[in-house]
Amino acid sequence: MNNVQSYIEENKEKFLEELKSFLRIPSVSADPAFKDDVRKTAEFVKERLTAAGADIVEIHETKGHPVVYGEKMIDPALPTVLVYGHYDVQPPDPLDLWDSGPFEPVIKKTEIHPDGAIFARGACDDKGQVYMHIAAFEAMNANGFLPVNMKFMIEGEEEIGSENLGTFCKENKEKLACDVVLLSDTSVIANDVPSITVGLRGLSYIEVEVTGPNRDLHSGVYGGAVGNPINILCKMIASLTDENNHITIPGFYDNVVEATAEERHAMNQAPFSLDQYKSDLKVDDVHGEEGFTTLERTSIRPTLDVNGIWGGYIGEGAKTVLPSKAYAKISMRLVPNQTDEEITEKFQKHFESIAPKSVKVKVTPHHGGMPAVTPIDTPEYKAAEKAMIQTYGKTPIPQRSGGSIPIIALFEKELNVKSVMLGFGLDSDDIHSPNEHYGLFNFYKGIETIPYYYHYYSELKS
């Protein structure tokens, strides 16, 4: 293990340069204009996995973007770890809010990252974190220290709902057979407060279209007499939450597992400063469901948010118009035991029922995903805990996160295997936002910690 760690130390610059090359390829999965770049990124991952020592590396075609699969089998008697990650990224928009090009990685120091952070789309989510695994794998192979069998599955459609990965898993159950899925696509509480993510929220994502008159109208000639779809859409959306910020969709909370008083007490012990949270976001107050703390609101409680809303005239100056259509994209974060199917259906029924007769509404479900909780009394989790104790000198806190990685629930269903979410980002790293970045401290800490995971896992499993 000492050799592995010195190899990492000696190759820090090289790993960082390789991450930069990875970040320069704009693998925006949502936008068809980047289709070729997404493929180039898959090829980059293939090339790097091969160089790092994988025996088999394949690019698997799907109906969408390809999946990169790699493996190194040491001995069938050893446990097998499947590393999951994604090489696709969110669109960089709005571009004018970036201080440097989203695909031109630069290193800059920040208050939270005094050792520097790398700024680029995907730096933290998830290329930087995927690359830690490739680097750790290389360091272990170079020193003949690999105490487990390794499989890699790095996909290109996570940011668009992993639509084809379910099929890939179903069709390749044997190839993907493993004892645990290990992924780094989440965050720690702080660089001096390590944590391991033990839960994720599910997601139901919906687009709505409200249609009023058959064409845009003069808002003076018709205004006041014909339903304005934007006014009506706003009222409908406003009615989806009440004065306590509870969601009003009938049956929405039916299947929510309420946390016990002890669980709530424990989760509120995690280090968190509301003042710092507010000052970081430059808001005078937080906003959320009455009766729950910020930590609870972002982990154990379901939510409803409008992600985008549009319609009518949004160009320069003023145009008097009563628009024919209005649109919104609405997402709901779900907690155990809500299912996305159930919630999507309840939303649809409710939204249609509250529309006044003066408009028509069309509800189109986008992707969804199931919430996930992972156990902590297993060798899979304990290995992660020990690895972090080794490199952080502190026991990591198990914490549920507000984000979603729908494929985790699917691994459990299709491959019958639990996941360990050993993430190294910070919530303040601006993933999905302009100026996304990833601390160099975090990047290197991840590379150092991952080999210990394999070490302790093989120990605990034998």
Known catalytic residues are: 88, 158
Cα torsion for 149, 378, 381, 82, to the nearest 10°?
A: 30
* 187, interface contact from Mn ion, ligand BES, none, CB < 5-8 Å by kind: ligand BES
H helices then E strands: how many in the chain? 13, 18
127: left (phi over 0), alpha (psi -120 to 50) or beta: alpha
Pick the binder of Mn ion from 125, 138, 155, 157 (CB under 5 A): 125
In the block, residue with structure tokens 């430059």: 282
User: What's the closest the beta carbon of residue 149 comes to ligand BES, in angstroms?
Assistant: 26
Rounded CA Rg of the chain: 23
Pick the binder of Mn ion from 18, 37, 71, 126 (CB under 5 A): 126
Strands 180-183 and 80-86: parallel
Nearest to 264 by CA among 308, 224, 299: 299
Task: Say how far apart CA 433 and CA 8 lie, in whole Å.
Answer: 30
Q: Is there a contact between 403 and 201 (Cβ–Cβ < 8 Å)?
A: yes
Take residue 421 and report the two structure tokens written for it. Answer: 């979410």
Q: Of residues 231-250, which lie at the interface with Mn ion (CB under 5 A)?
A: none
CA 248, chain centre distance (Å): 27
Take residue 89 and report the two structure tokens written for it. Answer: 């990224």
Q: Which is nearer to ligand BES, 160 or 247 (CB)?
A: 160
Task: Say how far apart CA 333 and CA 403 lie, in whole Å.
Answer: 8
In the block, residue with structure tokens 């930590």: 295
Q: Is there a contact between 398 and 376 (Cβ–Cβ < 8 Å)?
A: yes
Q: Which is nearer to Mn ion, 125 or 385 (CB)?
A: 125
User: What's the closest the beta carbon of residue 399 comes to ligand BES, in angstroms?
Assistant: 10
User: What's the closest the beta carbon of residue 53 comes to ligand BES, in angstroms?
Assistant: 26
* 414, interface contact from ligand BES, Mn ion, none, CB < 5-8 Å by kind: none
Nearest to 4 by CA among 443, 458, 452, 461: 452
Q: Which is nearer to Mn ion, 87 or 252 (CB)?
A: 87
Q: Is there a contact between 165 and 171 (Cβ–Cβ < 8 Å)?
A: no
* 18, interface contact from Mn ion, ligand BES, none, CB < 5-8 Å by kind: none
User: What's the closest the beta carbon of residue 291 comes to Mn ion, in angstroms?
Assistant: 29
User: What's the closest the beta carbon of residue 436 comes to ligand BES, in angstroms?
Assistant: 11
Q: Is there a contact between 148 and 81 (Cβ–Cβ < 8 Å)?
A: yes
User: What's the closest the beta carbon of residue 214 comes to ligand BES, in angstroms?
Assistant: 35
Take residue 338 and report the two structure tokens written for it. Answer: 């809500």
Task: Say how far apart CA 277 and CA 379 lie, in whole Å.
Answer: 34
Task: Say how far apart CA 69 and CA 56 lie, in whole Å.
Answer: 8
Q: Which is nearer to Mn ion, 126 or 429 (CB)?
A: 126
User: What's the closest the beta carbon of residue 406 comes to ligand BES, in angstroms?
Assistant: 5
Strand partners, 303: 333
Q: Of residues 163-192, which lie at the interface with Mn ion (CB under 5 A)?
A: 185
Take residue 274 and report the two structure tokens written for it. Answer: 């509301």
Residues that bind ligand BES (CB under 6 A): 125-126, 158-159, 161, 185-187, 200, 203, 367, 369, 401, 403-406
Which residue number places its CB atom closest to ligand BES? 403
Identify the sign of the CA torsion 296, 300, 302, 303: positive
| Binding stretches for Mn ion (CB under 5 A) | 125-126, 185
